[in-house]
Amino acid sequence: MPDMMLPPQAVIPHRDPFLLLTEVTEVTVGERALGYWDLTGDEPFFEGHFPGRPTLPGVLMCESIAQLGAYALLTRPDFAGRLALFGGLDGVRFRRQVLPGERLDLEVALGRVSARAGKGTGRASVDGEEACRCELMFVFVESV
């Protein structure tokens, strides 16, 4: 494992305002990854979700986990330059609110992966307390 991970933008195609991964801290290419998303509190969705009680939308937690999974996959030379699109989510559980200013720690483990699709599991937590877990299904397409 290299001492320094590539920034997410160097591996996955997501960009602001939809880059939901601050840093990848560990990766086993094509198998697993650890990372995090720092929520500054300035993200525009907090204003409307919910006024007076800002909360990170659960679907964005799942997307952040998926972006970390895409990072682990797209670091494989045979998948470089491709897009990993959601094929589905199963077993999603939200256990805790995530608030502005908190750091969402992420982990993902990939299971079966073929040239066309694959599966993985992911988890998001704050200070060691689980916020979300889910099973991800994805399909690969060529990027333009």
49 part of the active site: yes
Euclidean distance between CA atoms 27 and 21, whole angstroms:
14
pTM above 0.85, yes or no: yes
Task: Please report, for the chain, the start and end positions of each structural domain, with discontinuous segments joined by +.
Answer: 8-142
Q: What are the strands, taking DSSP E only, across the chain?
A: 23-28, 32-38, 82-94, 103-113, 117-126, 129-142
Q: Is the peptide bond before 138 cis (omega within 30 degrees of 0)?
A: no
Catalytic option among 14, 49, 76, 96: 49
In this predicted model, what pLDDT tens digit does every residue of 38-82 receive, in sequence order? 999 999 999 999 999 999 999 999 999 999 999 999 999 999 889
| Calpha distance 43→63 (Å, rounded) | 15
CATH of 8-142, one of 3.10.129.10, 3.40.50.970, 3.30.1120.10, 3.40.50.1820: 3.10.129.10
The DSSP element (H or E) to which 58 belongs, if any, is helix 58-74
The 10s digit of each residue's pLDDT in 77-121 is 999 889 999 999 999 999 999 999 999 999 999 999 999 999 999
